[in-house]
């Protein structure tokens, strides 16, 4: 796509997501945000339309989309409601370790029944004792006969209170740090899986985030993903795949803020003219436009590399980092353009700022992204 335009094939996917965002998500977004409602009917509809298990190949019952296609869809959903989008795409994150590290038999056993009807899965990496420093996680996996026994607690787990399947990262030996970590999948009904309460959050309030405790949970060896000790690289490869769509989600938030601000700039008058005719407002709109466009193109570039099977570590970190920062700046300026109204919950823009904030934190905080970017960069300048 040298001219950066979308083919009709891609547009048809974008149209589907856009229509879903405008007709299903947006009308409920403010209410779900205000009252912290987890709108399960909307998630079921997203599943019915094929908008949920985007990354799972069609042969296992998913939508089988590439990274670029996923990004187009996630941006549109993010425009509609970032919180709902986080819950809708949580399956992609939770199932990616199975796609990357699972055997053919495991994929058939887990993914097929899971994708056949509406189910939610959760990705369990973060712990109360550490998020960014995933290598130091404390959830223990003990060998026990033919299998393992898991014990420990995960926190900030998207959809945990509603999930029927967990992918869990646990260590066989904390002394080994990264090298001690293994990955497992655990069904919700396994004895000792105890999801905690829903957290009260600043944004993404239509999503559900909670703790999940593993109290001596027996896991058969067949539910281990990859070899023992391969869990950490699997987690990192998973996040490599899902980081770019988070950039797309942030782009959607930013685009939404820009659209609101531009429209308001033509409606609101001060000093005898629409505020959009004051140059100070125009400068803001110009900056916002540039940010949104750059964010989009960076996610498109990272996604294109991923689809081509090329290394995109640097590009995906750049995209996630830039787009999430853009979402913050653009939603912040949108509130400024709305003046006092922007600060009111009646208007949609303050929610965008609260939603944008998370995109700088989760799936690898922006500080961690910058560490990655710098490391990749400096490697290229090795003396």
Q: Which residues bind ligand FAD (CB under 6 A)?
A: 122-126, 130-133, 156-158, 201, 204, 209, 341, 344, 346, 358, 361-363, 365, 367-368, 371
**Which is nearer to other proteins, 48 or 215 (by Cβ)?**
48
Residue 114 lies near other proteins (rule: CB under 8 A): no
Among 2, 3, 5, 8, binds other proteins (CB under 8 A): 8
Nearest residue (beta carbon) to ligand FAD: 131
Where b means 16+ CB within 10 Å and e means fewer, 311-348 reads ebbbbbbbbbbbbbbbbbbbbbbbbebbeeebeeeebb
- Regarding 274 and contact with other proteins (CB under 8 A), the answer is no
Q: Which one of residues 6, 26, 37, 49 is an interface residue with other proteins (CB under 8 A)?
A: 49
Q: Which of residues 254-273 bind other proteins (CB under 8 A)?
A: 264, 267-269
Would residue 363 show up in a list of annotated catalytic residues for this protein?
A: yes
How is residue 182 written in tokens?
A: 């293994």
Report the partner that residue 37 touches, choosing among ligand FAD, other proteins, none (CB closer than 5 to 8 A by kind): none
Give the active site residue among 76, 363, 367, 376.
Answer: 363
Q: Which does 365 bind (CB under 5 to 8 A by kind): ligand FAD, other proteins, none?
A: ligand FAD
Would you say 13 or 157 has its CB closer to ligand FAD? 157
Nearest CB to other proteins, comparing residues 13 and 155: 13
* Residue (341 or 362) nearer to other proteins, CB: 341
Residue 31 CA to residue 375 CA, distance in Å, equals 43
CB-based burial of residue 136 (10 Å sphere; 0-12 exposed, 13-18 middle, 19+ buried)? middle
Rounded alpha-carbon distances, angstroms, from residue 281 to 49, 227, 298, 342: 40, 57, 26, 14
Select the binding partner of residue 236 from other proteins, ligand FAD, none (C-beta < 5 to 8 A, by kind): none
Give a three-class secondary structure readout of the chain: CCCCCCCHHHHHHHHHHHHHHHHHHHHHHHHHHHHCCCCHHHHHHHHHCCCCCCCCCHHHCCCCCCHHHHHHHHHHHHHHCHHHHHHHHHHHHHHHHHHHHCCHHHHHHHHHHHHHCCCCEEEECCECCECCCHHHCCCEEEEECCEEEEEEEEEEEECHHHCCEEEEEEECCHHHHHHHEEEEEEECCCCCEEEEEECCCCCCCCCCEEEEEEEEEEEEHHHEECCCCCHHHHHHHHHHHHHHHHHHHHHHHHHHHHHHHHHHHHHCEECCEEHHHCHHHHHHHHHHHHHHHHHHHHHHHHHHHHHCCCCCHHHHHHHHHHHHHHHHHHHHHHHHHHHHHHHCCCCCHHHHHHHHHHHHHCCCCHHHHHHHHHHHHHHCCCC
Least distance CB 203 / ligand FAD (angstroms): 8
> Which partner from the list ligand FAD, other proteins, none does 157 bind, CB cut-off 5 to 8 Å by kind?
ligand FAD
Question: Pattern of binders to other proteins over 62-91, x per CB under 8 A?
Answer: -xx---------------------------
Nearer to ligand FAD, 289 or 339 (CB): 339
Tell me how far, at minimum, the Cβ of 14 lies from ligand FAD, in Å: 26
Binder of other proteins out of 346, 379, 381, 382 (CB under 8 A): 346
Q: Kindly state the smallest distance separating residue 263's Cβ from ligand FAD, in Å.
A: 14
**Nearer to other proteins by C-beta: 112 or 376?**
112
* Residue 51 touches other proteins, criterion: CB under 8 A: yes
Between 62 and 97, CB nearer to ligand FAD = 97
Pick from 13, 89, 168, 352: which binds other proteins (CB under 8 A)? 13
- With CB under 8 A as the contact rule, the residue among 40, 48, 173, 367 that binds other proteins is 48
Active site residue ranges: 363
Residues that bind other proteins (CB under 8 A): 8-9, 12-13, 16, 19-20, 48-51, 58, 63-64, 264, 267-269, 341, 346-347
């Amino acid at each position: 796509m040298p001219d950066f335009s979308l083919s009709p094939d891609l547009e048809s996917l974008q149209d589907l997501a856009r229509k879903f965002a405008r007709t299903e998500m947006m009308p409920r977004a403010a209410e779900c945000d205000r009252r912290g409602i987890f709108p399960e009917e909307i998630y079921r509809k997203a599943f019915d339309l094929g908008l949920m298990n985007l990354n799972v190949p069609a042969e296992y019952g998913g939508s089988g989309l590439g990274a670029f296609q996923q990004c187009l869809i996630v941006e549109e959903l993010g425009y509609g409601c970032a919180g709902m989008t986080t819950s809708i795409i949580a399956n992609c994150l939770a199932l990616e370790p199975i796609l990357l590290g699972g055997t053919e038999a495991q994929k058939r056993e887990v993914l097929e029944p899971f994708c056949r009807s509406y189910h939610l899965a959760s990705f369990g990496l973060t712990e109360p004792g550490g998020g960014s420093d995933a290598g130091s996680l404390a959830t223990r996996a003990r060998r026990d006969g033919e299998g393992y026994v898991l014990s420990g607690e995960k926190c900030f787990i998207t959809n945990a209170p509603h999930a029927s399947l967990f992918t869990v990262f646990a260590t066989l030996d904390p002394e080994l740090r990264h090298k001690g970590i293994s990955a497992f999948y655990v069904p919700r009904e396994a004895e000792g899986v105890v999801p905690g309460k829903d957290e009260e959050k600043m944004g993404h309030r239509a999503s559900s985030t909670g703790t999940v405790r593993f109290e001596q949970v027996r896991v058969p060896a067949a539910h281990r993903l990859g070899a023992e000790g391969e869990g950490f690289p699997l987690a990192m490869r998973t996040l490599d795949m899902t980081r770019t769509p988070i950039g797309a989600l942030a782009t959607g938030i930013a685009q939404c803020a820009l659209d609101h601000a531009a429209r308001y700039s033509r409606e609101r008058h001060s000093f005898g003219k629409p505020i959009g005719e004051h140059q100070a407002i125009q400068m803001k709109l110009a900056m916002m436009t540039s940010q949104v466009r750059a964010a989009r193109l960076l996610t498109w570039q990272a996604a294109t590399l991923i689809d081509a099977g090329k290394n995109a570590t640097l590009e995906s970190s750049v995209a996630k980092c830039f787009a999430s920062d853009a979402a913050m700046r653009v939603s912040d300026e949108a509130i400024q353009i709305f003046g006092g109204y922007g600060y009111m919950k009646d208007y949609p823009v303050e929610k965008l700022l609260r939603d944008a904030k998370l995109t700088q934190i989760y799936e690898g905080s922006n500080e961690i992204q910058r560490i990655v970017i710098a490391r990749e960069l400096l490697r290229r300048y090795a003396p």
